[in-house]
Structure 1
Amino acid sequence: MSGIFKKIESLVEKGKEAHAKTWHNWAGNIVLEPELIFHPKSLNDLQEIVKKAKKHGKKIRCVSEGHSWSTLSVTKDYLVIVRDMHQIQVEKSEKYGWTITAEAGATIKQMDDKLRQHKPPLSFDSMTVLSSVRASGIVATGSHGAKCAGASISDQVVKLQIVTGDGELHVFSDENDPKEMSAARINLGLLGIMYKITWHVQPLFKLRMIDFQPPIKSWLYPATLKEFVEKSDSVEVFYWPFNESELDRNDDKLWVKQWLRTDDPITTSQAELGMERVCEDLETRFGDKLYQFIVKCPESTPYITNLLWKAGPVSKPQNVVIPAPDAIHYQSGIDNILCDDLEFTFKADKDFANVAEEFNHIVDSVYAYAKKGKFPMNLAAEMRILKASPSLLASGYDEDPNAIYCFIEVLAIRHTSGFEEFSAELATRWMKKYKARPHWAKAWEHVPGIKPYLREILGKRLETFESVRVKYDADKIFFDNKSLEEVFYGSPKSTFTESHL
């Protein structure tokens, strides 16, 4: 009889494992072949996976949508893909008002739809542009939106339920333990497998979304930026390379998006928005074909980016009033364009002088490379301004809750020649000048000296986080990442020296 039960147990466990032997992230820059891939559907499944790993001495890493460029999900042992866990519940509490609780694999779209359909309709205060990414992924990595008075999306979280190294479910909240919650909010998957996440949400509101394209030479100044941010709900500033002429920096423009809260009537129907999203999806599919040509023929970059600029932002000036989720997720089809993305964060000067300086420096660098016949940035540079975060591992951490941080990034089509060199140069500059920190989910591991640098910069916060991690995963079941090993346990003295600059 014992043989029969072992056979049944084997079949049950096999049913939770994926048939595929390999996994790759969205961008395709990471491909791995772990020993086992699991697709859990319940809390019980998560607990059994952890117990199995503990029994066999295996490590576990998790993935949701796979929209990260860094190696956070890489493992040689057990990979847990949480996409089949997407139950959602909306509740009202005395302390937080309306909340939404989602299982780890719920997409932002699924949560948005649930909130809209609720009576009364509700909304997140801020969220990522992408609606295809999933709950646990954006929280674990400290992802963010564009709300100027907001911090990371993780800072909107009021409760986390995590299956930790003992195979049991533990609840993290500020009420239970604020230090542990500060570690759990942005945990990089190091505390365990996230099961459920609870956010504070609010009544559905409207945003006026305004697009305009000012000349760089007359708009990208500290006073202009500061005034603009102070009067806006949310702001994104884009630079699209070579957008107004072949190779003349003085003619180039920015693409600026501004959101303002409003009680004005809605100007665009859901049917019209739906048609716009369909068109955007088609446009990005077509644009990707042209971008693939750029990768093969880099010298064509100025001409094709100029063409795509005229077919994109310039052709669609906007001043519309729409529900907040539609304004926050303003672009469809982003997933159609595979790219590389580096993002760093630094504290903004009170007068925004360093913010204007660094965005101008990106433009200058694009043209400096072009003079050498190199075109390493062919997609966009982007900048957002947010408040500081109190979460221990937040890229924009600061003890001052009113501190302002600049989140700045550069993007290029996958396999673009020279992007790693170009982006690493920028990152190194920001590290040296401002002690800038990377967005954990974006590309950062290629930057020279970054791991010992992060260990030094994070300092005591890393020690505090580690004290929480050890409590819930003493056997390091969830610690199977070379980069994080070097950040957490590398040489106490940084090797980030002038030789790296």
Structure 2
Amino acid sequence: MTNDNVTQHQAQEPETVTYAKLGSPMAIVDGVSFSGGDEWTNYGGNLTVQTERVFYPKTLEDLKVIVREAHNDNKKVRCVGSGHSWSATAVTPDYMVSVNGMDKIHKPVRDASGWTVTLETGVLVSQLDAFLRAHNPPLAVSSMVLPDVVRFGGILTMGCHGAGLNSRTLSDTITEMTIVNARGELVTYSAAKDPEAFNVACLNLGLLGIIYTATIKVEEMNTRLRVTDSYPTLTSLFQGPQAGLNLKARLLKNDSTEFFYWPFERFMQPDQNKNIWVKEWERTTEPAEDLKKYEGLPPMIDNPFFSTFQTGSRVMEVPDALHFPFGDGVTTVLDVGCAIKVDSDFGNICEAITEVVEKNWEFTTSMPERMGTAIEFRFIKASDKILSPAYDKDPDTIFCMINVMAASGTPGFEEYSVGIAANWIHKYNAKPHWPKMWEKVDGIVSYLRREYGDRITRFNRVRKSQDPTDMFVNDTWRPIFQENEL
């Protein structure tokens, strides 16, 4: 701990994790390291771009220098972390900013409304987990994304989420954010200062500038989570006249619930899987188990049949429970995901799951190279952030966050997954999850502009006040946020 109550964490990153590929710093401008002519590739391997420069900032002043250089050179700026986005949100051939060196965490603070912690944009989920666990009293983020090798700058400003009807998106945990805008000014956003601008900043897609810090809500880790893995049949969960209401009752009794489906019953066998892996989390005051017996087990992503030999329950500390066994492993994946607003009887979700299971089976069995596919879905409460795909004015509205995935390089996955997303959009008025693959859905720009409508206008009022020359707008965002009539 330093005198200013800031702790620098250098996380030990697992050797098996595949990260976005960047070059090494080759030059310095006003103290900021940068490299030139790098080819950047994202985690999933579906995006590659040749960049003019990649900057490696470590301080607030570094961020201001980068913005000044971009302004003087008339260049676009986008930020990257671990590269865990399958849409081209960070892609630019101009100036990319690797925020990985911006990884300071400030001492947690408690006031009348509870605990908060302030962290820089490049902090890894695993870093914050370890930092909060070591605090006295131990703290945790109550709902979190599954992989712990992603960085907060991305997961906060893209509206990423965990699983649970007691939680919303991670953007909804923010109480304050600071961003360096296109004029090189550090702007502080909070609900007390300007509620509308704060709402925009919490889920800003990197369009207000370079994020410096975010302050988020955390809670005392005085309870643990009982994690129960079961393997019921698809029919018992999603078919029958009472299926939707039974599913709803099951979700409401848990703190969080998640579902995984793989199409094959046994590895390298042709039989269709009739069961689905259900992971349920419930709060408990029971002591946590020793996790050493699970060391060496492959992450879920490397062994999709984990569920067949890990059914049962175990008690874990909150961060262990939220991430177990979801390490990144050595397998990289492609992912298309949407938010579907859940009907009161959950009937639309039962229908959507039944449909996508059959489409997944048709796709996967059409050639042997398509074996590595999966379906995953979780449920959260609505967000009030105006660009969230889970936005709703009613805070009790439930959304199903559903994904179809495949191992990187799976032939035909893009066409298949885009078709799935298009069906969800057409049939259920779904909204694509911003970090996932959505850009090639036919008519997606006009659909998003129509559906977000006045919320885009509201967003643009704040955006243009901070970036009047569109320094932070790349080719992905320009068609959506252009200012001609909606």
Deviations 1:39-83 (A, max 9, x none): 000000001111111122111111111110000111121100100
Counterpart code for 2:248: K
1:489 offset after TM fit, Å?
A: 2.1
Q: Tell me: CA distance 1:335–1:184, structure 2 relative to 1, closer, same or farther (3 Å).
A: farther
Partner of residue 217 from structure 1, selected from 235, 239, 252: 235
Identify the residue that residue 454 of structure 1 maps to in structure 2. 448
More helix per residue: 1
Identify the residue that residue 405 of structure 1 maps to in structure 2. 399
Q: Distance in 2 between matches of 1:73 and 1:335?
A: 23
Is 1:360 the equivalent of 2:354? yes
User: Residue 36 of structure 2 contacts residue 52 of structure 2 at CA under 8 Å; is this kept in 1?
Assistant: no
Is 1:380 the equivalent of 2:398? no
TM-score by length of 1: 0.86
Partner of residue 241 from structure 1, selected from 263, 269, 272: 263
Identify the residue that residue 350 of structure 1 maps to in structure 2. 344
Identify the residue that residue 61 of structure 1 maps to in structure 2. 78
User: Residue 40 of structure 1 contacts residue 85 of structure 1 at CA under 8 Å; is this kept in 2?
Assistant: yes
Gaps of 5+ in 1: 1-9, 288-307, 494-501
Is 1:483 the equivalent of 2:476? yes
Identity of aligned residues (%): 36
**Number of equivalenced pairs:** 454
Deviations 1:286-306 (A, max 9, x none): x5xxxxxxxxxxxxxxxxxxx
Give the aligned CA root-mean-square deviation in angstroms.
2.0
1:425 offset after TM fit, Å?
A: 1.6
Identify the residue that residue 429 of structure 1 maps to in structure 2. 423
Q: Tell me: CA distance 1:172–1:260, structure 2 relative to 1, closer, same or farther (3 Å).
A: same
> Residues 22-421 of structure 1 correspond to what in structure 2 (within 5 A)?
22-204=39-221, 205-220=223-238, 221-243=243-265, 249=272, 252-266=274-288, 268-270=289-291, 272=292, 276-281=294-299, 309=305, 312-369=306-363, 378-421=372-415
Deviations 1:396-437 (A, max 9, x none): 000111111111100011121121222122111111122111
Q: Tell me: CA distance 1:393–1:280, structure 2 relative to 1, closer, same or farther (3 Å).
A: same
Q: Tell me: CA distance 1:13–1:27, structure 2 relative to 1, closer, same or farther (3 Å).
A: farther
* Worse-superposed segment, 422-431 or 400-409: 422-431
Q: Tell me: CA distance 1:476–1:317, structure 2 relative to 1, closer, same or farther (3 Å).
A: same
Deviations 1:463-495 (A, max 9, x none): 10000000111111111x2221111228757xx
Q: Distance in 2 between matches of 1:234 and 1:342?
A: 22
Gaps of 5+ in 2: 1-26
Counterpart code for 2:405: L
1:264 offset after TM fit, Å?
A: 1.8
Q: Distance in 2 between matches of 1:243 and 1:155?
A: 38
Counterpart code for 2:467: D
* Worse-superposed segment, 363-372 or 392-401: 363-372
Q: Distance in 2 between matches of 1:20 and 1:35?
A: 5
User: Residue 376 of structure 1 contacts residue 422 of structure 1 at CA under 8 Å; is this kept in 2?
Assistant: no
User: Residue 28 of structure 2 contacts residue 34 of structure 2 at CA under 8 Å; is this kept in 1?
Assistant: no
1:370 offset after TM fit, Å?
A: 5.5
Counterpart code for 1:464: R
Counterpart code for 1:456: R
SS state at 2:356 partner: helix
List structure 1 segments (4+ residues) > 4 angstroms apart after TM superposition: 244-249, 370-377, 490-493
Deviations 1:114-137 (A, max 9, x none): 101100110101111111101101
1:334 offset after TM fit, Å?
A: 2.1
* Worse-superposed segment, 468-477 or 484-493: 484-493
Q: Distance in 2 between matches of 1:409 and 1:441?
A: 12
User: Residue 126 of structure 1 contacts residue 146 of structure 1 at CA under 8 Å; is this kept in 2?
Assistant: yes
User: Residue 32 of structure 2 contacts residue 65 of structure 2 at CA under 8 Å; is this kept in 1?
Assistant: no
Q: Which has the larger radius of gyration?
A: 1
Q: Distance in 2 between matches of 1:145 and 1:478?
A: 28
User: Residue 348 of structure 1 contacts residue 355 of structure 1 at CA under 8 Å; is this kept in 2?
Assistant: yes
